[in-house]
Amino acid sequence: MKNEPSHPRPSEDDRRNALTAIGALITGFLGAIIPAGVGVVTLLDSLRQRPKPRAFRDNNSGVNSSGTGDYVRIAHVDAVPPDGQPRRFTVRMDQVDAWNFTADYPVGAVYVRRTKEGEGKVQVFHSTCPHAGCSVAPSVDGQAFHCPCHNSAFDLEGKRVVKTGKENPSPRDLDQFDCDPEKLAEGEIWIRFQNFETGEEEKKPML
């Protein structure tokens, strides 16, 4: 150190300092924003609806369970018990999961029951509890749907009921699907399957 020649003190020329500071900030910002930005863009890709592979685009058995697709077949009406008891059906659709595409794959489940009043009339419920997304199941006596997580309960019509001594935390009744009327007339149950947001009073498609 002692042999080094002495230097003049750093300049305090404000204008030159300010310009350099701006330059440093800009290049620093760009240096950080380019890799980080590209990274964030890939992350935001999750918000995009992922398309089916081209060979399957015309196959109208639904895109994925967020439901922009068409009607999917659930069952024949005769496969539902005539006594009004609900039966659980697995919903099979073409599924896009990240890089995997699987045609005709189990993506969820619905409960179907025949209503008493008319022959051939059915109700189709999503098997997911509208409260927090657990899966409801018919109670032991077959008179209601119970959710095993937080005590939600629904009657066979899907309406909320209060279990003895407990609050029913569900914000809405079980989510119901409309059947394709033409197919139903032929005895076939077809629905537009999709998942719904949980925990809200309004039934709206899962984002």
Q: Binding residue for other proteins (CB under 8 A) from 150, 160, 183, 192?
A: 150
Q: Binding residue for other proteins (CB under 8 A) from 59, 87, 101, 184?
A: 87
What beta strand segments (E) does 98-167 contain?
100-114, 122-126, 137-138, 144-146, 153-155
Contact between 57 and other proteins by CB under 8 A: the answer reads no
What ranges in 45-188 are assigned the alpha helix state H? 181-185
Closer by beta carbon to other proteins, 75 or else 179: 75
Question: Exposed, middle or buried: residue 84 (CB in 10 Å: 0-12, 13-18, 19+)?
Answer: middle
CA-to-CA separations, 171 to 3, 36, 88, in angstroms, rounded = 80, 40, 23
Closer by beta carbon to other proteins, 13 or else 85: 85
Q: Tell me the two tokens of residue 165.
A: 């001594």
Q: Tell me the two tokens of residue 40.
A: 């964030």
Q: Binding residue for other proteins (CB under 8 A) from 76, 116, 121, 159?
A: 76
> Interface residues with other proteins (CB under 8 A)?
43-44, 46-47, 50, 64-66, 75-76, 78-79, 81, 85, 87-88, 90, 97-100, 106-109, 127, 131-135, 137-138, 140-142, 146, 148-151, 163-167, 169, 171, 195, 197-200, 206-207
